[in-house]
A = this chain, B = another copy of it.
């Protein structure tokens, strides 16, 4: 059975990505990271979802280098704006670090693909979510691995890259996903309930709305 490593945060995108990888017949090995993220509750969601789907799941603890509101409690998570600059929720090097470990793990278990749920449509403006970035990582993986040298390159698969959030949700629904217990919010509380105000909540809310669907997100009832 063909194997895949699936980068898996327990959020809406990576849960859809995992469902797609399973639907394509991959033996999936989900990989999450504990990087001292503010919303570490997402790891509980990740664990619960992979348990329900009977998918192997590994959580790797990695060092946090700071300089992001997602990992430094002294920097506030901003509300969503239309500002086109890279927001302070950007974690330097995050996708490169995640993909590097996924690549190493793929070599160890001899997986032939890595799935990552990046989208170039509804995203927060991070440089490492763009198609050209993924293409560059694919070229790197071709050169960095035994598989690449042996001309059976490890494939970096991005099934959501051209999908809007609404389309991602529709795709997930078609695959039987209920998003209620996925956590996307950058500052979810201990119950995994969402703030409804950050960039990630904005995009998720807009996705359900654009798709004319009931928003399955659990929001914090009382907040400032």
Residues of A within 8 A of B (CB): 60-63, 65-67, 86, 90-97, 99-101, 103-105, 107-108, 127-128, 130, 132-133, 136-137, 139-140, 142-146, 148-149
Contact of A94 among B66, B91, B104, B142 (CB under 8 A): B104
Contacts of A92 in B (CB 8 A): 103-104, 107-108, 145-146
B66 close to A108 (CB less than 8 A): yes
Copies of this chain held together in the complex: 2
Write 29 A-B pairs (CB below 8 A) sorted by A numbering. A60-B63, A62-B62, A62-B63, A63-B101, A65-B101, A65-B105, A67-B108, A90-B146, A91-B104, A92-B104, A92-B107, A92-B108, A93-B104, A93-B107, A93-B144, A93-B145, A96-B100, A96-B144, A97-B97, A97-B104, A127-B143, A127-B145, A127-B148, A128-B144, A130-B143, A132-B143, A133-B140, A136-B140, A136-B142
Residue of B nearest to A94 (CB): B104
CA distance A142 to B130 in the complex (A): 12
CA distance A133 to B101 in the complex (A): 17
CA distance A92 to B146 in the complex (A): 9
